[in-house]
């Protein structure tokens, strides 16, 4: 089978169906980005270390596997082919160079400098493909005093200010449990790759794409950062649990008689009418209202305990307030709204098995078979990739 026949066999139907990606990524940020590219039709060839594969294959919830694989790995590695290569071996590096010549994109998320030391950096691979899009993801960016530090999601949430704006005033900073920086950086990485491929195709321009958890964390906090850099306003976390330091009440999660209710921004007059707030509390300036937010919150905390979450959601929604129940992940994946939009679907796993997983989180008209290739085993496509490259010679 020639390389053209090999690639044609695995292309999807989406808008990236004529794009080929060589994927050296591991853990979450990179694999989520390349899975999105694969979902949209690209051929993604995942390169892993021989034998054990990438790190995520051995990272499991309480040591539990599904159909022989890490559930975490299954969540972000569909629509990929898998080959192995020893990047320290000259013969395998030569094979990689030949693959690069037939690919549009190389993606990696090693620490900055690792690929250069292996002889697979941007400048070197550009000799083999003059229109290459070479994308890198890192913790802190490609340069600076922290460039060599481990860039893990929770660490970056903490050092970037995200965690310091979350949690009760008397408690410690609280990072999000979900790896929001890994996921958000993956989206930015995929977006930047697609934009660069468009330019490379149109103008023949190669591109070096570099995304980082730190850069993403600042983008997420763009409003707060601008206020911090350009005004004398200072924020402190609420002692009563308001969810953001810069927001007045109501804004947060409140206990009900049988669970919890999220309540967002509501005009002062409407809030006062619904919950019977005193005229004295309602009559101040906007700044007075903000500074007395914990008093307002205390009233809400007391009143909301009297009824169930479902009762409050129905009544407050009818009265024009922004509210929602506080669901667990187990609850939301079964919600009719999730099913109506096909956000959860069955994906194929090694051995012909299936698991339920989060699918493509958006839709594109004309895109069919987004979930087309099962999650691969280590080196599953080694023989066919190597044969296709050999036929190029």
Check whether residue 300 and residue 360 sit in a common domain. Answer: no
What distance, in Å, lies between the first and last C-alpha atoms of the chain?
A: 13
Residue 334 resides in a domain? no
Residue entry with tokens 């903000």:
290
CB of 309 closer than 8 Å to CB of 258: yes
Q: Is the pLDDT of residue 392 over 80?
A: no
pLDDT at 316: 96
Mean pLDDT of 369-380: 90
Average pLDDT over the chain, rounded to an integer: 94
Structure confidence by residue, pLDDT tens digits, 302-340: 999 999 999 999 999 999 999 999 999 999 999 999 999
Burial code (b: 16+ CB inside 10 Å, e: under 16) for 130-144 equals: ebbbbbbbbbbbeee
pLDDT at 215: 98
Distance separating alpha carbons of residues 350 and 69, to the nearest angstrom: 8
Q: Is the pLDDT of residue 350 over 90?
A: no
Residue 228 resides in a domain? no
pLDDT band at 3 (very low <50, low <70, confident <90, very high): confident
pLDDT at 391: 83
pLDDT band at 235 (very low <50, low <70, confident <90, very high): confident
Structure confidence by residue, pLDDT tens digits, 78-133: 999 999 999 999 999 999 999 999 999 999 999 999 999 999 999 999 999 999 99
Structure confidence by residue, pLDDT tens digits, 22-55: 999 999 999 999 999 999 999 999 999 999 999 9
Q: Is the pLDDT of residue 170 over 90?
A: no
Q: Which residues contact 347 (CB under 8 A, 6 or more apart)?
A: 74, 78, 354, 355, 356, 357, 359, 371, 374, 375
Structure confidence by residue, pLDDT tens digits, 257-308: 999 999 998 899 999 999 999 999 998 899 999 999 999 999 999 999 999 9
Q: What tokens appear for 385 in the block?
A: 């990739």
Residue 291 resides in a domain? yes
Mean pLDDT of 177-190: 97
Check whether residue 92 and residue 168 sit in a common domain. Answer: yes
- Distances from the Cα of 306 to the Cαs of 127, 274, 297, 311, in angstroms? 70, 14, 15, 10
Check whether residue 347 and residue 302 sit in a common domain. Answer: no
Check whether residue 157 and residue 249 sit in a common domain. Answer: no
pLDDT band at 393 (very low <50, low <70, confident <90, very high): low
Check whether residue 289 and residue 376 sit in a common domain. Answer: no
- Distances from the Cα of 182 to the Cαs of 31, 126, 390, in angstroms? 10, 27, 36
Check whether residue 183 and residue 306 sit in a common domain. Answer: no
Residue 17 resides in a domain? yes
Check whether residue 280 and residue 314 sit in a common domain. Answer: yes
Domain boundary among 297, 325, 353: 325
Domain boundary among 325, 348, 373: 325
pLDDT band at 368 (very low <50, low <70, confident <90, very high): confident
Mean pLDDT of 201-223: 97
Q: What is the number of structural domains in the chain?
A: 2
Residue 333 resides in a domain? no
In terms of Cα–Cα distance, which of 324, 327, 302, 308 is closest to 256? 308
Beta bridge partners of 47: 83
Check whether residue 267 and residue 176 sit in a common domain. Answer: no
pLDDT at 302: 93
Q: Is it true that the peptide bond before 250 is cis, omega within 30 degrees of 0?
A: yes
Q: Is the pLDDT of residue 137 over 80?
A: yes
Residue 330 resides in a domain? no
Check whether residue 120 and residue 200 sit in a common domain. Answer: yes
Domain boundary among 274, 291, 325: 325
Check whether residue 77 and residue 192 sit in a common domain. Answer: yes
Which H, E and C letters describe 82-136, residue by residue?
EEECCCCCHHHHHHHHHHHHCCCEEEECCCCCHHHHCCCCHHHHHCCCCCCEEEE
pLDDT at 57: 95
Distance separating alpha carbons of residues 92 and 86, to the nearest angstrom: 6
> What percentage of the chain has pLDDT greater than the value 90?
87
pLDDT at 141: 96
pLDDT band at 367 (very low <50, low <70, confident <90, very high): confident
Check whether residue 31 and residue 77 sit in a common domain. Answer: yes
Check whether residue 216 and residue 67 sit in a common domain. Answer: yes
Q: Which residues contact 157 (CB under 8 A, 6 or more apart)?
A: 163, 175, 176, 180, 181, 217
**Is the four-CA dihedral 173, 177, 182, 185 of positive or negative sign?**
negative
In terms of Cα–Cα distance, which of 148, 129, 126 is closest to 139? 148
Domain that holds residue 173: 3-220+339-392
């Amino acid at each position: 089978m020639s390389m053209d026949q090999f690639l044609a066999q695995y292309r999807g139907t989406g808008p990236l169906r004529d794009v080929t990606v060589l994927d050296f990524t591991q853990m979450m940020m990179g694999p989520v980005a390349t899975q999105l590219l694969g979902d949209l039709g690209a051929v993604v060839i995942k390169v892993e270390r021989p034998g054990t594969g990438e790190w995520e294959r051995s990272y499991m919830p309480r040591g539990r596997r599904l159909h022989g694989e890490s559930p975490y790995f299954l969540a972000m590695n569909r629509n990929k082919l898998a080959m192995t290569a020893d990047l320290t071996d000259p013969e395998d590096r030569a094979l990689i160079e030949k693959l690069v010549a037939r690919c549009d994109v190389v993606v990696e998320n090693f620490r900055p400098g690792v690929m250069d030391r292996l002889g697979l950096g941007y400048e070197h691979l550009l000799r083999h493909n003059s229109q290459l899009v070479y994308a890198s993801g890192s913790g802190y960016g490609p340069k600076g005093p922290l460039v060599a530090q481990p860039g893990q999601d929770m660490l970056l949430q903490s050092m970037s200010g995200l965690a310091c704006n979350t949690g009760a005033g008397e408690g410690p900073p609280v990072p999000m449990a979900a790896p929001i920086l890994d996921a958000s950086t993956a989206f930015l990485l995929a977006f930047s790759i697609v934009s660069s491929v468009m330019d490379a195709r149109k103008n023949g321009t190669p591109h070096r794409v570099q995304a980082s958890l730190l850069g993403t964390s600042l983008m997420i906090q763009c409003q707060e950062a601008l206020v911090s850099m350009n005004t004398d306003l200072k924020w402190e976390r609420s002692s009563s649990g308001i969810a953001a330091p810069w927001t007045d009440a109501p804004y947060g999660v409140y206990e009900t008689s049988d669970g919890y209710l999220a309540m967002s921004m509501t005009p002062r007059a409407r809030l006062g009418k619904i919950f019977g707030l005193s005229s004295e509390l309602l009559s101040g300036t906007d700044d007075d209202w903000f500074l007395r937010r914990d008093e307002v919150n205390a009233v809400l905390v007391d009143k909301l305990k009297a009824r169930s979450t479902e009762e409050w959601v129905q009544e407050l929604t009818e009265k024009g307030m922004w509210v929602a129940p506080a669901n667990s992940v187990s609850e939301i994946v079964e919600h009719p709204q999730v099913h109506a939009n096909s956000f959860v679907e069955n994906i194929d796993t090694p051995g012909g098995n299936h698991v339920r997983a989060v699918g493509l989180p958006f839709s594109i008209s004309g895109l069919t078979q987004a979930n087309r290739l099962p999650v691969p085993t280590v080196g599953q496509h080694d023989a066919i990739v190597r044969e296709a490259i050999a036929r190029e010679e």
